[in-house]
Amino acid sequence: MTTISVIGAGYVGLVTAACFAELGHRVNLLEIDHERLNALERGILPISEPNLPEVWQRNLAEGRIRVTGNYIEGLLNSRFAFIAVGTPSTKNGKPNLKWVRLAVKNIAEAASEPIIAVIKSTVPVGTGDLVARLLTCHGRNGHSFPVVSNPEFLREGLAVFDFMHPNKVLVGASDRNAADAVAELYKPLDAPIIICDNRTAEMSKYVSNVFLATRISFVNEVARLCDEYDVDIIQVAKIVGTDPRFGGGYMSAGLGWGGSCLPKDVKGFIHMAKVRKVNLPLVRAVKRINQQQPGVAVRKLRQLLGSLEGRTIGVLGLSFKPDSDDIREASSIFVIRLLEQQGCRIRAYDPAAMKAVAKILPQVTYCNDAYEVAKGSDALILATEWDEFKELDMTIIYSLMHQPIIIDGRNIYDPEKMSQIGFIYEGMGRHGIREKRAEPVLLSSAQKDMEPLLRNDLVISRESSYKSGS
């Protein structure tokens, strides 16, 4: 049994702490946010993540997890300090290392024994070197602090599973002994352990996320073409995904990628390139396509409803992905802002994220379930593919709506079945708005003439939402 300190009780820190404890280690979890710390001390987990409560409670009860806000206490007897603090984007896309710097300073000042600093947070290339310098600069006791880059690849919603069953463990260090010591911790997971230098590990993490974002933006671009050529993107993605050179993952068309990682890491990657005066036209396009996706959905709605002024639109799902309460850069928020700009009233429901969204969008009417959202709505937009939305009784939804229009922003429904019920169904890249379904379209010819102008307007709107600090 080793004593491990984990710095930061967010999605990564909580899962890392719980899972290392589950592997039999003693874990000290350090958190500086008082509200979060108080909640944890009262046994309340501040995030919603499947399977985490069970693992957390079991290890807490068995005395393997201790939560503290005190670095001296939190680092006592620890051999490792895993840094899992946030690295959000600043306005110009630069990753903000304020919390990493603070954690490093605190570690250097508080460590009573030599300790291995392990960077789990996603950080720009060269941060390992910076952390090593900061540790030397702030260290009071003359300890040596090897720095290991051990980026995390877990997915929210599957975080505990991903930690316990990683497809690889990446360990970057210039100090081979430190790298081996960190690798040893992961041995029970039976995953390939890749040892490299710090910079390679840091770059590989960014490239992984940028590549995932690229795949999704690519498939979203293809979906626009599928709409025009009467082809279903789901079938196309399935066929293309059978090729082992590509694989089938991250090929779902929809409202775009969001969350705490892909948007900030794409921006961080572009920023890293800018610093070295390298142009990345492909990655910039990946970002731009994503910014346009909410507008694509709203445009579909406008093609069906005409003016959106005064319309009541229901939004199903608010979190950036199902099984998570995380709303950072969630597509739902961009969609709602666009709809509000067009004069819509919004009704919304999400199983986990309403409290968080209500803080930034207080004017939305929050409902108890999807049926309440549907009541009197002129259209529904499915923004997050929670399982409970797949199991809705759509005939009831149909009967409750003012107009039976559904924009399926995550392509979870069967277009034929939806048409049979009587819905005007629009997916993302699932044949587009067909003439035969266009009967209830209320677009006047004047509005049709305006459509090209409105298109441009919507294309830039996600960019302006970003700029307004969302």
Ligand X SMILES: NC(=O)c1ccc[n+]([C@@H]2O[C@H](COP(=O)([O-])OP(=O)(O)OC[C@H]3O[C@@H](n4cnc5c(N)ncnc54)[C@H](O)[C@@H]3O)[C@@H](O)[C@H]2O)c1
Residues that bind ligand X (CB under 6 A): 7-13, 30-33, 36, 84-87, 99, 102-103, 106, 121-122, 152, 154, 156, 260-261
Q: Which residue is nearest to ligand X (CB)?
A: 10
Residue number with CB closer to ligand X (122 or 384): 122
- The least distance separating ligand X from the CB of residue 387, rounded to whole angstroms, comes to 20
Place of tokens 């051990």: 150
Residue number with CB closer to ligand X (30 or 193): 30
Residue number with CB closer to ligand X (156 or 378): 156
Residue number with CB closer to ligand X (14 or 236): 14
- The least distance separating ligand X from the CB of residue 421, rounded to whole angstroms, comes to 36
Residue 125 identity (one-letter amino acid) = V
Burial of 254 (0-12, 13-18, 19+ CB in 10 A): buried
- The least distance separating ligand X from the CB of residue 331, rounded to whole angstroms, comes to 16
Instruction: Exactly one of 226, 261, 344, 367 is catalytic; name it.
Output: 261
Give Rg (Cα) of the chain. Answer: 24
Pick the closest to residue 171 from 136, 137, 128 (CA basis): 128
- The least distance separating ligand X from the CB of residue 392, rounded to whole angstroms, comes to 28
Residue number with CB closer to ligand X (118 or 305): 118
Which residues are registered as beta bridge partners of 430? 232
Q: Which two tokens stand for residue 470?
A: 């969302």
Residue 191 identity (one-letter amino acid) = A
- The least distance separating ligand X from the CB of residue 170, rounded to whole angstroms, comes to 12
Residue number with CB closer to ligand X (123 or 223): 123
Burial of 192 (0-12, 13-18, 19+ CB in 10 A): exposed
- The least distance separating ligand X from the CB of residue 287, rounded to whole angstroms, comes to 17
Annotated catalytic, 261?
A: yes
Residue number with CB closer to ligand X (133 or 448): 133
Burial of 345 (0-12, 13-18, 19+ CB in 10 A): middle
- The least distance separating ligand X from the CB of residue 336, rounded to whole angstroms, comes to 23
Pick the closest to residue 184 from 169, 199, 196, 206 (CA basis): 169
Give me the helix-helix angle, 11-22 and 52-61, nearest 10°.
Answer: 50
Enzyme catalytic residues: 261
